[in-house]
Chains A and B, each alone.
Chain A
Amino acid sequence: MALPESLRMSITPPELELISSQQLLEIVPLISMERTAFISGAYGPLRPPNKAIVPIWMAVNLKSKKKCHIVAPAWLNVDFLQDRLNYETSKPGFSDLPFRFMEISKVLLDVASDDLEDPDKLRSLLKDLREARQAKSRDGLKRLDHSELSLPNLSSMEINEIRPFFVQSMHMLTQLVREPSAA
């Protein structure tokens, strides 16, 4: 299968969102459901008002039909994100955030903003985090080397964004720099 040129270098964001939706999330179901087998595994049973753990895609589906309430993951609250933002602005490294935090937070803010505390504040915190980290990855670009570059704690969406041109520039640098040892 031949991919068009624009898709060859990286994964598309909707694809990443789909992959991240496989992760498990806690919900409070409003309907009952027996233990059901899906392709990815068997989930349930759902017995309101007990909490249950289901994949995000299923939670989103139920939520859109108003059949559950979503319990926010441990990291999706104002304090945690504010703490991470402070770290970002004060220290040179990247702060420790869940690998797919951008995709998951976007999906949850879309679907379940009423289940989350203070969604507007969350949105603005996430935006600030994103900008701070982008500035740092730009600095990392200056230190680009032809042999390796390590940017720990970068999230999946951010890696996907910078991958194409980082890889290409490293390729260029390899061609330009290796000459002395070859000659």
Chain B
Amino acid sequence: MISLTSVTWAEVLNATRVSVLGDFSSYTHSIIQIAALSKIQVPIWLAYVLIYSDWADFNIPTPFGPRVRNALKAEARSVRLAGLVGAGGLWYGFGKTIVDILAEEQANEISEVLTKTFRARLVEVIDQAQHFAALGPVGAGGASGDVAQLFREGLDSTERELFSLAQESAKRTKKWYEESDRSRR
């Protein structure tokens, strides 16, 4: 995960070869002074190391902030998780990493949020998958179709995997079952 998070430096640091913004093509041997209490964006894996070694502190990033959390509490299925963490959409994965970084109490909170959201959205994911297994390539229209489509666009990539798994297995079973109406022998 090359997604970034912002950390606040706790003390003055003389750092060599600090490649900010995770652009690995430019490693420079330069001495950079990072003043205390400045905000820097670093990749997640680096953030974990920095926080663990007590060189920086960490605010909960926006995708898990209070606004998103309230939206999820209100109606988990209407939040579009796909766009929240940049391309590739690994909201749950990102959340899990954050939980690793954070201390006990906040970690529990976030993991609560993650599990509740997952459970709530799961039923909707499976419903839509089975619905799509039944229909052919031409989708269903109508007002409910739009809402369903919006939901599908906002799916996290782990949810997309589940969607395709469910759709595949439902399609296979249905195909086998439909075969029974025509005589094969």
Contact = CB atoms under 8 A, between A and B. Distances in A.
B45 interface: no
B185 to A, nearest CB: 4
Given A110-B180, A111-B185, A164 B165 contact: yes
A46 to B, nearest CB: 20
Interface residues of B, number: 37
Interface in B106-142: 107-108, 111, 114-115, 118-119, 122-123, 126-127, 129
A169 B162 contact: yes
Contacts of A163: 169
Interface in B165-183: 165-166, 168-170, 172-173, 175-177, 180, 183
Interface residues of A, number: 34
B99 interface: yes
A13 B175 CA distance: 9
Contacts of A179: 96, 99-100, 107-108, 111
Contacts of A14: 176
Given A138-B126, A175-B96, A180 B107 contact: yes
A109 interface: yes
Nearest to A12: B172
A33 interface: no
B92 interface: yes
Given A109-B180, A176-B96, A141 B169 contact: no
B153 interface: no
A9 B169 contact: yes
A160 B165 contact: no
Interface string A1-42: 000001001101110010000000000000000000000000
Nearest to B163: A165
B62 interface: no
A161 B96 CA distance: 29
A138 B170 CA distance: 13
A176 B162 contact: no
A56 interface: no
A104 to B, nearest CB: 12
Given A6-B168, A164-B168, A176 B180 contact: no
Given A162-B169, A164-B165, A172 B92 contact: yes
Contacts of A180: 104, 107-108, 111
B119 A177 contact: no
A91 interface: no
Contacts of A109: 180
A106 B185 CA distance: 13
B38 interface: no
Nearest to B106: A183
Given A138-B127, A160-B169, A177-B115, 11 more contacts: A110-B183, A111-B183, A138-B123, A165-B129, A165-B169, A168-B162, A176-B111, A177-B111, A179-B108, A180-B104, A183-B99
Interface of A: 6, 9-10, 12-14, 17, 60, 64, 106, 109-111, 138, 141-142, 144, 157, 160-165, 168-169, 172-173, 175-177, 179-180, 183
Interface of B: 92, 95-96, 99-100, 102-104, 107-108, 111, 114-115, 118-119, 122-123, 126-127, 129, 158, 161-162, 165-166, 168-170, 172-173, 175-177, 180, 183-185
